[in-house]
Amino acid sequence: EPEVTQTPSHQVTQMGQEVILRCVPISNHLYFYWYRQILGQKVEFLVSFYNNEISEKSEIFDDQFSVERPDGSNFTLKIRSTKLEDSAMYFCASTRVTGSPNQPQHFGDGTRLSIL
């Protein structure tokens, strides 16, 4: 069964450094998402992406964050200057269509980002 894949599984970065998290969504999916889960807390929506542009973004997704689909398969999340509070598990998700609210989103295994 097709899967969403994320790399790396764990990223350790010094505060202030840039980090890029990578995702390969399921190939026939059209909507892509990034979510964040701080340790012990609920999963929070960051941003959605459709047709090569941001569709929605949350208050968390400030100017330090950006997303890109550099080619036909990868979907990346960049954090320009990381802060300690960016330490979290970051999930990529995708869904085939979104006209119906009943379509499930398929998640990758996540990237655990640790900021030192």
> Measured between alpha carbons, how far is 9 from 28 in angstroms, rounded to an integer?
23
Task: For other proteins, give the closer residue by CB, 50 or 64.
Answer: 50
- Name residues contacting other proteins, limited to 76-115 (CB under 8 A): 89, 91, 93, 95, 98, 100-110, 112
Task: For other proteins, give the closer residue by CB, 13 or 50.
Answer: 50
- Name residues contacting other proteins, limited to 2-41 (CB under 8 A): 31, 33, 35, 41
Q: Tell me whether the omega of the peptide bond preceding residue 25 falls within 30 degrees of 0, making it cis.
A: no
Q: How many residues bind other proteins (CB under 8 A)?
A: 30
> Measured between alpha carbons, how far is 25 from 36 in angstroms, rounded to an integer?
17
Task: Spell out the residues 6+ positions from residue 84 whose beta carbon is closer than 8 angstroms to its own.
Answer: 15, 115
Q: Which amino acid is at 95?
A: T
Q: Which amino acid is at 23?
A: C
Q: Enumerate binding residues for other proteins (CB under 8 A).
A: 31, 33, 35, 41-45, 48-50, 55-56, 89, 91, 93, 95, 98, 100-110, 112
